Amino acid sequence: MITKDSKIYIAGHRGMVGSAVKRKLKNEGYENLVYRTSSDLDLRNQQAVQGFFDQEKPDIVIDAAARVGGIMANKEYPWQFLYENLEIQNNIISSTHEQEVDKLIFLGSSCIYPKHAEQPMSEDSLLTGSLEPTNQWYAIAKIAGVKMVDALRRQYDHDYVSLMPTNLYGPNDNFDLETSHVLPAMIRKFHEAKENGHAPVPLWGTGSPRREFLHVNDVADAVFFTLNNEMEYDLYNVGTGKDISIKGLALLVQEIVGHEGDINWDTSKPDGTPRKLMDVSRMTEAGWTYNIEMEDGIRATYEWFLENLDEIKEVDIES
């Protein structure tokens, strides 16, 4: 069980999820945290990862490291999304096992479930149908990670757990329009259109698909809950259990940002999965539920975006 003295390694500590987990642990008084930047530790390098684990010997590992992106990024870089994510998680999970680390939390995504899974999607729907083609490469990698955690629990009785969050948003999100997910992309598009005289905003698809969104601080809270409890299952969905249409989301973001122009839907572009709503009953029964309502979360995220706008633009230029 986690204590204030536990040495906790957070893989991916500078990403949206990892940084939220780091904030949560620090706010709760946990200071014995270990992390490395990608320039200091290449998680794709098996020897380097093994050496890091041999040196640091963490008590707990939180794997929030991954190559992530939206529909466009997955379409353009299928090999990287499959291979690099397999490399990262294989190295972390195998080193965690070899070091006999007390507890591992592996973070994935709701995209692991079949495109036409019965809604809401339960953990039992895993591998019952074909995946959404636009992000299958990332999904297959994450499914492999889930099964590695399951295998280690079964064979070695390790206290390892996979958490599958729904679509996340919040501080430190990716706002690059070439690689971002739908909600941060909308925030940036509506903001820049507002700054450009309330110009029309082009959005992909029909607006009809429905999506569920969770503030990243809530998933960090779910991680903290999991660290402090013995979990009965290997796999848990983490979400709100509520969804919204993409069109409804666009109108909400437009209102929060203050954009007064038109929205132009490009129906030649793909919609993606028709609906992705999580069955969160397993996590609810364990004792955890979300706290941040969507409108409040988007307002806070837009405020963070405005406060960090110069830095966001610099990252775009460098990339």
Give the model confidence (pLDDT) of 37-69 as tens digits: 999 999 999 999 999 999 999 999 999 999 887
Active site residue 77: no
Q: Any binding-site annotation on 210?
A: no
- pTM metric for this prediction: 0.93
The C-alpha atoms of residue 142 and residue 164 are separated, in whole angstroms, by 9
CATH of the domain at 69: 3.40.50.720
CA nearest neighbour of 102 among 288, 235, 228, 283: 228
The single residue of 30, 35, 138, 236 carrying the catalytic annotation is 138
Q: Any binding-site annotation on 226?
A: no
What is the number of domains present in the chain?
1
In a domain, 18, yes or no: yes
Q: Any binding-site annotation on 291?
A: no
Range of the domain at 48: 8-318
In a domain, 3, yes or no: no
Residue 319's pLDDT is what?
Answer: 30
CA nearest neighbour of 52 among 67, 37, 66: 37
The C-alpha atoms of residue 173 and residue 184 are separated, in whole angstroms, by 7
In a domain, 2, yes or no: no
Residue carrying the six token digits 């004792």: 287
In a domain, 122, yes or no: yes
The C-alpha atoms of residue 26 and residue 19 are separated, in whole angstroms, by 11
pLDDT band at 313 (very low <50, low <70, confident <90, very high): low
Residue 244's pLDDT is what?
Answer: 97
In a domain, 62, yes or no: yes
Kindly state the tokens that stand for 207: 């607006």
In a domain, 183, yes or no: yes
Residue 306's pLDDT is what?
Answer: 97
In a domain, 274, yes or no: yes
Q: Any binding-site annotation on 168?
A: yes
In a domain, 79, yes or no: yes
CA nearest neighbour of 92 among 64, 59, 123: 64
H helices of the chain, where?
A: 16-27, 46-56, 71-76, 78-98, 136-156, 182-195, 216-227, 246-257, 281-286, 294-307, 309-318
